[in-house]
Amino acid sequence: MKPKILVVDDDRYTRALIEQLMRHSAQVHLAENGEVARQLFEAIDFNLVLMDQRLPQDTGLDLLREFRAQRPKLVAILITGHADVRDAVAAVREGLFDYLTKPFEDLEALEAVIGKALELDSAYREIDSLRTRLAIESGAPDVIGQSPAMERLLGQVREVAALDTTVLLEGESGTGKDVMAKLIHAWSQRASQPYLEVNCGGLPESLLESLLFGFEKGAFTGASQATPGYFEKAHNGNLFLDEIADMSPKLQSSLLRVLQDRSFCRIGSTSPRKTDFRLICATNRPLAGEVKAGRFREDLYYRINVVALGLPPLRERGDDIIRLALHFLDRYNAKFGKQCGPFTPQAVRALEACRWPGNVRQLQHCIERVVALEPGGIIDAKHLGPSCECQLAPDLQDSAAPSPSPSLAYQEARAEFERNYMRRLLEAAGGNMSEAARCSGIPRQNLYVRMKRWGFVTE
C-alpha cells in the first residue's frame, strides 16, 4: 500500500509540484488551509505531513503542534520561506523531522527528504507492530530484525527451535547470541521447562565443573550438602553454554562424554544419572579456527556443530540499525523519564554510516548515553558523540570529501565529484542499486539515471 502524504499549503503551485513529484510513490492529499487540513487529518492516518508555515488563518507550526498532540509520533516537515529561519529552527527543535525552504530549487533534494521522512515513519510503525507481535509471543525477548539478513536468520531460528537439535550460534561480540539463545528456548517445545545458561569463559575450571555436574555432600572441602548441577536442572529444558571456545580441555572431554551417553555423574559419586536437555552453544571466535589451532577438540566440535547459525554483524543489517536505535530510544526515554528524539536526518545518516565494531551492544550504549546526557528534544549527529565512533565509514569518507583540482571550473568540479561519488557509492553497496539508494538518500530511479550517465550501469 502506498504511503499517505498530506500537503498543506495555500499556494496552488507548491501543492501541485509536490503532488506531481510524489504521486507515483505515494497517495497525496492536498489542503489549501487549516480547516481542510484538520478534516483530512481526522479522517486519514497519514504517514507524513508537509505543512506550510504561512497559512491564511493559522500558522503551520501551531497546526502541527495540534496534530502532534493527537499523534506524538507524527512525522512532519515544515515548509518555510527564506525569511522564516526562526520558525524552521523551532520546528526542528520541537522534533519535527525537517524543514524545507521555498522556492524549491533542488527537486531531487526535496524528494530525498520526503523519502527519508517516510522511512522514519515506517520504522516507527514496524516497531509498534513488532511490539504487539512480541507481546503475544509472551516470554520471547524483544528482538528487532527485519533486514533481509535477520529475516533469514529468524526463519532458521524458528525452524530449529521446534526441532530438538543442538544449535551452535556464531557471531561477533554484541551481535545478539544471548538473545537468540533465549528466543530458541521461547520458541521451542521446551519453553515451559527450565532454561539455564552459563558463561564458560567467566569461571575457573573447577567452579564451572561443579556448576555443570553438581556434587555430593563431602565431595570436596566446602561441599556441605548435595547440590544438583545444570546438567540435572536443565532436564527436559534447554542448556545454553556461552563462550564455549573458552572451555578448558579437561571440561571439553567431560562434556563430550555427557553428550555421547546422555548421562553424567555428580562430583563425588559414581552412579550415573540420565538427563535430557537440548544444548545451545555460542562463540564469538569461529570454532573451526579454534579446532585448527588445536585449542578445541575436533570430536566435540562435530558433536555441537549440528546446526550452526551465524549472526550477521550490525553493519550488514541495513535499516535494522535505525529500527534498533528507535527501539533503544524508546527504552531509555522510558527508563530515564525523558523525551529525546527524533533523530535528525544527519543523525540517521551518521548511525547508518558507522561501522559498529561492537555491534548491537555498542549501538545500545550509544543511545543510552545520549538519552542520559541530553535534556531532551531532537538528536543530531553531534550528540551521538565520538565515543561511539559514529563517523562516516572509511569507505564513504573519501567519496564524501573529494579533492577536485582547483583549476577546474565549478561545473566540471561538481561533475568530477559526482562521478567519483557514484563510483565509490556503487562499490560500497557491492553493486546493489537499492542499497546504494538507501545509503545515499537518492531515490532509486534517480540514482539509476545518474549511474547510467556516468556509465556505471549499462542497461
Query: Residue 282's beta-bridge partner residues?
Result: 169
Cβ at position 129, least distance to ligand ATP in Å: 15
Nearest-approach distance from CB 242 to Mg ion, in angstroms: 5
d(CA 398, CA 417): 11
329 binds, among Mg ion, ligand ATP, none (CB under 5 to 8 A by kind): none
Counting every residue, how long is the chain?
A: 459
Residues 266-305 that bind ligand ATP (CB under 6 A): 284
Site string for ligand ATP, 105-124 (x = CB under 6 A): --------------------
**Is there a contact between 256 and 279 (Cβ–Cβ < 8 Å)?**
no
Q: In this structure, are residues 399 and 421 in contact, taking their beta carbons and an 8 Å threshold? A: yes
Residues 299-358 close enough to bind ligand ATP by CB under 6 A: 324
**Residue from 178, 197, 368, 374 that binds Mg ion (CB under 5 A)?**
178
**Min CB(142)–Mg ion separation in Å:** 16
**368 binds Mg ion per the rule CB under 5 A:** no
Q: Is 369 in the site for ligand ATP (CB under 6 A)?
A: no
The string of DSSP letters for 74-133 reads --EEEEE-TT-HHHHHHHHHTT-SEEEESSP--HHHHHHHHHHHHHHHHHHHHHHHHHHH
Instruction: State the nearest-atom distance from the C-beta of 425 to ligand ATP, in Å.
Output: 27
Among 4, 177, 383, 450, binds ligand ATP (CB under 6 A): 177
Helix (H, G, I), strand (E, B) or coil at 43: helix
Applying CB under 6 A, among 143, 350, 392, 426 the residue interacting with ligand ATP is: 143
What DSSP state is assigned to residue 103?
S
The one segment of 11-19, 59-67, 175-183, 252-260 that binds ligand ATP by CB under 6 A:
175-183
List Cα–Cα distances, 40 to 35, 80, 92, 388, in angstroms. Answer: 9, 22, 24, 42
174 part of the interface to ligand ATP, by CB under 6 A? yes
Q: Which is nearer to Mg ion, 178 or 319 (CB)?
A: 178
Min. distance of Cβ 150 from ligand ATP in angstroms?
7
Beta-carbon contacts of 19 under 8 Å, excluding residues fewer than 6 positions away, are: 7, 28, 30
Could you list the residues that contact ligand ATP (CB under 6 A)?
A: 142-145, 171, 173-179, 284, 324, 360-361, 364
